[in-house]
Amino acid sequence: MKTDLYFEDVVIDEVMTSPARTITPDDIAAFCALTEDFHPLHTDAEYAKSRGFSGLIAHGLYGLALMEGLKTSMKLYENTSIASLGWDAVRFRQPVLAGDTVRVSFNVIDKRLSSKPGRGVLTEAVRLLNQCDEVVIDARHAALVLSRHA
């Protein structure tokens, strides 16, 4: 597995995939407690079913945060990351359910050197996939990483 990628090491359109993680009701409850979002869609499986879901659903923002965490677990930019510059075009395509096993698939679609020496900006197309290979969340992410050239 590649680790500590510098700007120059990144290959446009190379697809990278994270290890998988199964979402548990405890994960969803912990996110509820952390964010103070105790909407019944996230706390009451019967309520969620009454709204057309097959069970307890995770917060969309939990899924987005997990996307970043799963990418980080790959250690691609462990010592070369400077900052996240933001997320754009976030779409919640399907619910993330308790019991789903998800992973991140992403590729860099653009890169450019920063106006500051020794840095580069990467634009990533990021997808959260469930166990059926369905895209449940997709987004664009911009990241600032070290460049070998000052």
Kindly indicate the confidence band of residue 150, based on its pLDDT and cuts at 50, 70 and 90: low
Domain span including residue 64 = 7-22+59-146
| Chain segment 22-55, per-residue pLDDT in tens | 999 999 999 999 999 999 999 999 999 999 999 9
For the chain, give the secondary structure using H, E and C: CCCCCCHHHCCCCCEEECCCEECCHHHHHHHHHHHCCCCHHHHCHHHHHHCCCCCCECCHHHHHHHHHHHHHHCCCCCCCEEEEEEEEEEEECCCCECCCEEEEEEEEEEEEECCCCCEEEEEEEEEEECCCCCEEEEEEEEEEEECCCC
Interval 64-78 mean pLDDT: 96
Res 2: pLDDT: 83
Structurally, the chain folds into a number of domains equal to: 1
Q: Is residue 74 part of a domain?
A: yes
What is the percentage of the chain residues whose pLDDT exceeds 70?
99
pTM of the model: 0.94
Domain harbouring 139, CATH code: 3.10.129.10
Q: Is residue 15 part of a domain?
A: yes
